Structure 1
Amino acid sequence: MKILSIQSAVAYGHVGNSAAVFPLQRIGVEVYPVYTVTFSNHTGYGSWRGPLISPDDVRDVILGIEERGAFKDIDVVLSGYQGGEGIGDVILDTVARVKSANPSAVYACDPVMGNAKSGCFVAPAIPILLRERVVPAADIITPNQFELGFLTGTDPADLESTLDSVDAARALGPSTVLVTSVERPERPEGTIEMLAVDDKGAWIVQTPHIPMKANGSGDVTAALFTAHYRQTGDAATALARTTSSVYDLLQNTYEAGSRELLLVESQETYAHPRLQFPVTQVR
């Protein structure tokens, strides 16, 4: 499998491509990483150094990959945080060109906008771009519960309303939706869930909640789910493998007291997920 991943990069720590690429490589996926920024560290520290990469330069890097004849072999285009409308245009153009070269290729979009605690933290134009242009072009999306509601204009809360919101998201275009960080009031205290839905049904998985802020964990989740789903075509299997790997990564990080993900130290959790959490079909 080959994935063209268009995301940010940092030298210190693990977010964007700096979080997604190694776990994908560890499960045997060839990755072509294209960077939209090259920062010293993620912006959660409050200060950082390094350049934003202009949309024209991003487009030029992708053109060079295309000139090598690689597009016909790309199975997935993966994108995460989009810092501006210009990058969105580059991604959409790339998706169209890859699919022209390989009609079986899919586009997986992590529609990063914010979360329930912080609210929306992207530029005001980005949610509109995602909702009106990017998500309709995607085959797979991986929003958290807050982003799902923002995309669809709904209020996902309990399981039924979250499933209804997923239906609204799928009506926009993507056939497969992974909802990360589902927090429904009827779940047992101290737990958190993920929900995956495709044409075959809907599945949910529950894990203990690890009380930490883990920058980059969503990028790892989106990358692993996309790869497992593309490989197996089975949402339940992809959900089980991804959940196990990400939980163990977070647990390792939490126990070490590290602010940054122990991405390399946890590599066996990607290659050999323990599958310790049962996946339940809910529709």
Structure 2
Amino acid sequence: MQLLSIQSHVAHGYVGNKAATFPLQMLGWNVDVLNTVNFSNHTGYGSVHGEVVAGDKLAEIYAGLCDINVQYDALLTGYIHGASSLAAVGQMCKAVKRSRPQCLWLLDPVMGDDGQIYVSEDVIPVYRQLVHSGLVDVITPNQLELELLLDFKITSRDDLRRALATLHTEHQIKHVVISSLFLSAQQLGLESKGCFYCCVSSKDADEPILFEIPKLDSYFTGVGDLFSALLLDRLFRLQDVVLATNQVQSVMSRVLAKTQRMCVERLGGTVQGKLGDATSMKECELRIVECRDLYHLEQTDFRAVQL
């Protein structure tokens, strides 16, 4: 199985391609990597050195892959900082999909989280064009990114249903997995508390479903990048987005628990990752290598609830 992963790179830590490549290799994928940035570390440390890779440089590398006729079974696209780079990546992915329609394209529209946008705002209209292309198979936005893609706020269950219907009918997206919703249980018509919600919807399914995921009292980076990589693998194998998401969330819960446990064991106390605090950010890096025995697990820990 051959995959092209187009997202960020950091010398230290685990986000972007650093979070995705090794787990995918452990699952049997041959991963070709295009790095959209080359940074010393992720931006949560408060200080970062390196460079953003321009769109023409990305296109040049991709041209080399075309020259040697690499054929891809899947595409994974994540953090891309500027509009020109995103447009170049979009052209690559469209070319792959048109030549190999069976290739699975998972687009993670990485734009922001917790109310904060951390890419150039000129990428938003480019993402909207890509989502509208009819070539994307699955997207994995969080709620903020979903709102940016559709240009309206989601404050209720009805808003969420409208957003999902728009993606399926107007944009022809087969599968939508909203990795994290910040709607409350009350807004979603649920009784649970102390959870966040993952929403899964398929174009051909009758009803979207929700998974209730217990919250961990810490801040981890790279979680969405690992989630999207594992989801692509499971969806490719299982062809069932609800089962795939349940398995991946179950793996993610174990990865985060192990990361947190190893941090406590090393320091003798709890560390809560805080943006801008280099010490806590370093301690809360995902233990990607140490969790290598978890990525293949097929447990389904979470109960699906209809939206």
TM-score, normalised with respect to structure 1? 0.92
Q: Distance in 2 between matches of 1:61 and 1:120?
A: 28
Partner of 2:125: 128
Partner of 2:184: 185
Q: CA deviation at 1:160?
A: 3.8
Q: Distance in 2 between matches of 1:143 and 1:241?
A: 18
Counterpart amino acid of residue 227 in structure 1:
D
Q: Which runs of 5+ in 2 are unaligned?
A: 264-282
Partner of 2:160: 162
Q: Distance in 2 between matches of 1:278 and 1:269?
A: 20
1:31-76 deviations in whole A, cap 9, x for unaligned? 11111111111111121222322222211211111222113xx122
Query: Larger Rg: 1 or 2?
Result: 2
**Residue 263 in structure 1 maps to residue 281 in structure 2:** no
Q: Distance in 2 between matches of 1:15 and 1:149?
A: 23
Q: CA deviation at 1:126?
A: 1.2
Report if the CA contact (8 A) 2:53-2:85 is conserved.
no
Q: CA deviation at 1:243?
A: 0.4
Q: CA deviation at 1:103?
A: 2.1
**Residue 277 in structure 1 maps to residue 302 in structure 2:** yes
Q: CA deviation at 1:98?
A: 1.1
Counterpart amino acid of residue 193 in structure 1:
Y
Q: Distance in 2 between matches of 1:38 and 1:119?
A: 22
Select the structure with the greater relative contact order (CA < 8 A; seq sep ≥ 6).
2
Q: CA deviation at 1:273?
A: 4.0
Partner of 1:25: 25
Q: CA deviation at 1:180?
A: 0.9
Report if the CA contact (8 A) 1:14-1:216 is conserved.
yes
Report if the CA contact (8 A) 1:139-1:176 is conserved.
yes
Q: Distance in 2 between matches of 1:200 and 1:245?
A: 26
Partner of 2:151: 153
Q: Distance in 1 between matches of 2:236 and 2:16?
A: 20
Counterpart amino acid of residue 260 in structure 1:
E
1:59-99 deviations in whole A, cap 9, x for unaligned? 1211111222113xx12221111111111122121112212
1:237-278 deviations in whole A, cap 9, x for unaligned? 111111011111111122233320111111222112432223
Q: Distance in 1 between matches of 2:73 and 2:209?
A: 24
Q: Which runs of 5+ in 1 are unaligned?
A: none
List aligned pairs for 1:83-98, cutoff 5 A.
83-98=81-96
1:209-236 deviations in whole A, cap 9, x for unaligned? 0122111100111111122112221011
Partner of 2:218: 212
Counterpart amino acid of residue 144 in structure 1:
N
**Residue 69 in structure 1 maps to residue 69 in structure 2:** yes
Structure 1 ranges of 4+ moved more than 3 A: 157-160
Partner of 2:36: 36
TM-score, normalised with respect to structure 2? 0.85
Q: Distance in 1 between matches of 2:236 and 2:164?
A: 20
- Count residues with an aligned counterpart: 278
Report if the CA contact (8 A) 1:232-1:238 is conserved.
yes
